[in-house]
């Protein structure tokens, strides 16, 4: 994951999550507690998502992005003490679109399914990706509030490469371009 400084007068914010070993959740919270301020929702500092069998906690990074560490029961365990090198992969990245349904259909044509095969809706929030991979694009409309935050999804430039072959470009105005890219 790479963030680039822009000359824009806007203050972009994004949501992203990192998958961590399934047996290191409490250790990760202890490791990071002096480095960040935990976000809360209804007085709680973490959440268990029963439908995906995962525990998460949220915090803001120094640029104001909403970051998350998520321990999915399907993620591998680790015998090693946690360090930043223990992060398994990027588990989620938000993708805010002006046309949610057509963007979701484009993603599907490129082989990126809607998790749980739920129907696409313009006002919906959709996890796009394979459940077994544990990596998702969070497709939704402008203005949607992020849980554990007072932030709302906004249009900002974004570039994501999925599996080394699918390039997704958000133009910062709600438009999304999806195309095959040359493997690097």
pLDDT grade for 6, boundaries at 50, 70 and 90: low
d(CA 27, CA 24): 5
pLDDT reading at 74 higher than 80: yes
Question: Measuring CA to CA, which residue among 25, 32, 27, 77 is closest to residue 49?
Answer: 25
The pLDDT assigned to 131 comes to 72
**Rounded to a whole number, what is the distance in angstroms from the first to the last CA of the chain?**
16
- Averaged over 112-130, what is the pLDDT? 92
Q: Which of these ranges, 9-18, 53-62, 121-130, 144-153, has the smallest mean pLDDT? A: 9-18
d(CA 103, CA 171): 13
7 is written with which tokens?
């000359």
Query: What CATH number matches the domain at 15-76+83-180, 3.30.450.80, 3.90.580.10, 3.30.530.20, 3.10.180.10?
Result: 3.10.180.10
> Global pTM?
0.88
């Amino acid at each position: 994951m790479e963030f680039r400084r822009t000359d824009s007068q806007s203050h972009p914010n994004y949501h992203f999550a990192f998958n961590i070993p399934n047996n290191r959740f409490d250790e990760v919270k202890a490791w990071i507690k002096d480095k960040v301020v935990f976000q809360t929702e209804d007085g709680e500092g973490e959440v268990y998502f029963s439908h995906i069998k995962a525990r998460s906690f949220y915090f803001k990074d120094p640029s104001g992005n909403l970051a998350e560490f998520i321990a999915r029961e399907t993620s591998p365990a680790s015998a090693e003490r946690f360090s930043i090198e223990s992060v398994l992969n990027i588990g989620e990245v938000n993708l805010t679109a002006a046309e949610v349904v057509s963007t979701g259909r484009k993603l599907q044509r490129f082989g990126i399914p809607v998790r749980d095969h739920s129907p696409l809706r313009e006002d919906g929030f959709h996890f796009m990706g394979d459940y077994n991979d544990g990596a998702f694009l969070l497709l939704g409309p402008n203005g949607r509030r992020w849980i554990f935050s007072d932030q709302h999804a906004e249009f900002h430039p974004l570039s994501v490469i999925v599996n080394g072959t699918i390039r997704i470009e958000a133009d910062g105005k709600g438009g999304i371009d999806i195309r095959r890219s040359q493997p690097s």
